Structures are given as C-alpha cells and as structure tokens.
Chain A
Amino acid sequence: MLVIEQLSKVFGDLTAVDSVSLAIPKGQMVGVIGRSGAGKSTFLRMVNRLTDPSRGTILNEGQNITALKGRDLRLWRASCAMIFQQFNLVERMDVLTNVMIGRIAHTGFLRSMTRSFTDEDRARAIEALDRLGLVPQALQRAGTLSGGQQQRVAIAKALVQNPRIMLADEPIASLDPANASRVMDALREINRTDGLTVLVNLHTLDTARAYCDRIVAMKDGRVQFDGTPEALTSEKVRQIYGTDDLSADINEAVTSISLTATSSRQPVKAFGT
C-alpha cells in the first residue's frame, strides 16, 4: 500500500501540487489525468523523489519515503521505476547497456565506472528485452531506435530494476497510435502478470479509461476526481478540464490513441513470455 498524505510542492508563488492525499493498494493501475500544468508530473516525480516535496509524507508499506537519504533513497528510486515521455535513454550507448543501467543502484562504484556489469545483470537485461520483443536490437545504439522501441527499452530497463511500483510520466505522449498501444499494453501486462502498482500520467482520457482500474484527476494541483473509469462522467470531465468556454462535450475521440478512434479497444495482441 502506497499512502500519500497532504503532499504539496511549492515553486516560488506557484503551488504545483496542493495537499494531495491518496491511498493506492498494491497491484492497482492508476491513471492520473488533468490539463497541462495541473501538477501531474510534479506529483509523480515526488513519489520517487526526483522532486522533493515541500510538505506532506509518502509511506510505502509503512516505510517513510520522504525521509530517505543517500543509498536508501537510491534504492527506493530503483524500486519504483520511472518511465518518461522523452524516454531519457543514453542515446549514444547500446540498448543492452541502457537496460543494464536499471541495475545501477545495485552495482558497485568501480563496476559502474568501468561499465562492467555482472553476467547476472546481463542475463536479466536480455530477458527483459526478450519480454518486450527487442532482443534483435540489443546491440544497436539506443538513439537509432524508433520512439516506440525506445520507450519499450525504457520499460525493459524499468523491469530489471525489479520494482514494486512503476511510474510512467506521459509515456505515450510522443508516440504514434500503434506504438502508444503497444507501450500501454506492455504496462498493463506488467501490472497484471507481475502484480506491480502502476501510476501513469495520461492526457488521453480514453486511454485512461481503457487501461486503468482507477482514475485520479488533478486540477490546479488538487485532486478533483478519484474513482473508477465508469464514475468519470462527462460532467466531471468538464469540471476537470475547465472547459467553460466550450459548450459542447469534450470529444474523447479527438485525442484518442486507439486505432479505431473509439473508446472501445481492439483485442490486445498476446504479449510476451
């Protein structure tokens, strides 16, 4: 259980995240939605402490995350893997090394500096790449891969971290629809098979509806809605996105990633192992 209490982040005059309290049971897939600037990213980045909270606490299985420092903090980051919108891979290095970087928190200083990961790490990395169908690209430079492939490399890297929680910050915002589906399918497969808690920031409502058990909507740093996808009515959507000037309903198909441009999804291709 990941318990977040009164979590806030203040940048100067701006309160990016304002007293967010959430309890997320193990194994839940949570979609975080909201307008740009609603505080979604900052919220996610506070969970793995890439951004330090101004106030509030994060507890994971009773462990106080907000107080972690040094090596404990690095181990926490390793145990809640993060996936970024821009993939954040080392583009000039090969895919395999990029995945092995997922073991960096458990790699000694000298091994890390000399780039000599253990055979066990290499085995884990290649297994993860196999699971995401990227073994043929293992020795290519990461920068030469397509966006969708790079994001799957990032997921493979996240997997070798052996995480308890997976954070994904707009993982499909830079991808075309086909790749976006593959990445979201991969995340859901990991959620279902490995029982990982997944927190994913999305700006496509129908993706959130299609993949997530629970949707948390943020507006101006606050939680505006928290419930199942079914409970997210178009009235609520209007409140979240604050479209007072738009008389019509928000058409979810406009931002849809689904290839048929409807909120009902095609059957998912069998994935993985």
Chain B
Amino acid sequence: MTALTPAIDQFEHDYATARRSALRLNLISTLLFALCFLVTAWIGGFFDMTDVTLPGGERVSMWKIWAGLPRLGEYLYKTLPELHRETLGADLAGWFWRWKVWLWLLLETILIAYMATLLGIVGAFFLSFPASRNLSPNRWVLNVTRRFLEIIRTVPDLVWALIFVFCFGVGPLAGVLAIGLHATGALGKLYSEANENADMRPLEGIKASGGSWFDQIRYGIVPQVVPNIISYTLLRFEINVRSSSIVGFVGAGGLGQEIRVAMSLQEYTDLSALFLIVFVTVIVIDMLSEKVRHHIIGLTGKGI
C-alpha cells in the first residue's frame, strides 16, 4: 500500500475499526434476534410433538406443524366445489345456492362499513385536534382525548359488537356502532399524527392576524391534512368492510352470520363461496378507493 498522507492513513485505520465494530454489532443483533425468535416459537407451541398414525399403521411421534400442514390442504380441498364443464351453470348455481340471501347480506355488510366509517370520520376528526401534541390547548385535554382514543381502539371491534348486541339486540345497528367506535379510535390516532406532522408556520400566520384556536385549526391545519385524512379514511373503509363481514359472528349483522353457520354446519363449499364474495368485494373497493384517493388529492386546495 502506498502511503499517501498521514491523514488518509489515519482515515483508513479508523475506517477499518468502524467496519469491524459494525460487523460485530450486526452479528450480535442477528444472534439475539434468532434466539428471541426461537424462544417465542417454542412458547407458541411450534416445537410441540404429536402422535400420528402413518398409512402403514405404525404410530410415530412428529412435530405438530408437519403433522398439521396436510390437514390445511385437506380443509381447503373440501371447500372446492365440484364444477363440470357440461353442467357449469347448474354447478355454479348449486355452489352459490343462497345467492339472494348472500347478496342482501353483502349489501348490509358494505352499508355497515359505510355507516361505521362515517361515524369514525366525524368522531376522529373532532377528537384528533385536541389529541395532537402541537395543537392541544393544554396537557390535560391532550391526555384525556388520547387515552379515550386508545381505549376505544384497544378494545377489538368484535368485543364492542358483543357489548352492543347485548345492549341493542341482534342486527346491523350493533355492528355499525361497534366498528364505528373502533374506527374512531384508529382514525383519531392517524389523523392526529397527520396533524402533528403539519407545518406550523401557517398557524402562526393566522394567530398573528388575531385568529382563535378554531380559526388556526380551520385555516392552518385542515387544508394541509385533508389529503392524508382522505387516504387514511379510504384505507379504513376497506378495513371496515373486512370487519363488518366478521361481526356477524356475534350477531351484529352482515355476512358473518352466514360464515358462522357454514362453519358450524361444515358446509365447506358455502364457505368458499362466501370467501369468494368477500374477496371480490374487498378487491373492488380497494381499486375504487385508490382511484378516488388519487382524484381527490389532485383536487384539494381548491374547495377545502
């Protein structure tokens, strides 16, 4: 190696040292991570053993996860409908034999998600400002609103649905309230984070013109965060559609009750039909919401 200047030699030396310590850090953290993974997998029962009877008749002990995997295939195989080319129409009609009920429940599912999202938007919008560190009038208000949002989003919507079915009886009302409440908590958190990332200079400009706290929010924050609010909300709508197809499990309306019935009666092909319906709906809503989102982001600032 040709010696250049003492400064460069020193740099080469420091560089080699820095490289070595970075490598050591990488190695240690990888080992630690792997260890944590193995421990949690062990606690989670990944290494449990189970006895299996082989086709030959002998019984062996093997890892549960290997023993169970084929059963997953078996289950999925059972849900496949029998379709023949010659009788395709009749087979499909047989597969989706309850299509009138299912379509109606699908509509109900989407409407539950829609109503719940609306409730979530209103609640989260108004709560997000006092829940933002940079906007809250004082620490007390900040903490109370934040804790409230935390509580309502920590309780899963299925649990809220159980509670509301108890209060308001079986039906979509309980589902709307349950998902709406959970969505308020989740959206409120996201909105308040958008608020916290907002540029504070416009607010100061409005404050300096004699604007009140509400004026500062209205003109300083809202125009900045509307695109974020829209994209979070559309994303939440998709999540709410998935949730509303589940809350029927506890009687809160939507497709969930059919899924539950199909599972408990072991109507495997019904399950696949229902899954297909939910899957297609979620994909369509996903595509639409992306289009709307891009369209609206282009528009903001003109009317809002």
Contact = CB atoms under 8 A, between A and B. Distances in A.
Given A92-B224, A92-B300, A104 B204 contact: no
Contact of A84 (B201, B212, B219, B301): B201
Interface in B191-229: 201-202, 204-212, 214-215, 218-220, 223-224
Interface string B221-261: 00110000000000000000000000000000000000000
A89 interface: yes
B218 A89 contact: no
A81 B301 contact: no
A81 B214 contact: no
Contact of B209 (A92, A93, A94, A104): A104
Given A77-B209, A88-B205, A104-B215, 19 more contacts: A74-B212, A77-B207, A77-B208, A77-B210, A78-B209, A84-B205, A88-B202, A90-B202, A91-B202, A92-B301, A93-B223, A94-B302, A97-B219, A101-B211, A101-B215, A104-B211, A105-B209, A112-B212, A112-B215
Contact of B214 (A78, A90, A112, A154): A112
Contacts of B301: 92-93, 141, 143
25 contacts: A74-B210, A74-B211, A77-B208, A77-B210, A81-B208, A86-B201, A87-B201, A88-B204, A88-B208, A89-B202, A89-B205, A90-B205, A90-B223, A92-B300, A93-B219, A93-B301, A101-B211, A101-B215, A104-B206, A104-B212, A105-B210, A112-B215, A113-B214, A141-B301, A157-B205
B202 A102 contact: no
Interface in B288-304: 300-302, 304
A88 B215 contact: no
Contacts of A50: 204, 207-208
Contacts of A88: 201-202, 204-205, 208
Most chain A CB within a 10 A radius of its CB, from B204, B208, B220 = B208
Interface in A87-140: 87-94, 97, 101-102, 104-107, 109, 112-113, 115
A109 B214 contact: yes
A81 B209 contact: yes
Nearest to A97: B219
A93 B219 CA distance: 8
A113 B125 CA distance: 14
B208 A82 contact: yes
Contacts of B202: 88-91
A101 B202 CA distance: 11
A48 interface: yes
A75 interface: yes
A122 to B, nearest CB: 16
B205 A161 contact: no
Interface in B65-103: none
Contacts of A112: 211-212, 214-215, 218
A104 B204 CA distance: 13
A78 B215 CA distance: 13
Q: SS class of chain B's interface: helix, strand, loop or mixed?
A: helix
Interface size class of B (residues with CB under 8 A): 20 to 34
A151 B240 CA distance: 45
Contacts of A115: 218
Contacts of A97: 219
A105 B214 CA distance: 11
Contacts of B218: 112-113, 115
Contacts of B208: 48, 50, 77, 81-82, 84, 88
Interface in A218-265: none
A218 B304 CA distance: 43
Nearest to A93: B223
A162 to B, nearest CB: 11
Given A92-B224, A93-B219, A112-B218, A78 B210 contact: yes
Nearest to B208: A82
A86 B199 CA distance: 11
Interface string A58-71: 00000000000000
A141 B210 CA distance: 22
Contacts of A154: 205
Contacts of A157: 205, 209
Nearest to A106: B210
A102 B205 CA distance: 9
B223 A92 contact: yes
B210 A75 contact: yes
Q: Which 6 A-B pairs have the closest CB atoms?
A: A105-B210, A88-B205, A78-B210, A92-B301, A74-B210, A82-B208
Interface in A136-154: 141, 143, 154
A121 to B, nearest CB: 12
Interface in A188-234: none
A93 B212 CA distance: 19
A92 B228 CA distance: 14
A157 B207 CA distance: 13
Contacts of A101: 205-206, 209, 211, 215, 219
A112 to B, nearest CB: 5
A45 to B, nearest CB: 9
Nearest to B221: A90
Given A92-B224, A93-B219, A102 B209 contact: yes
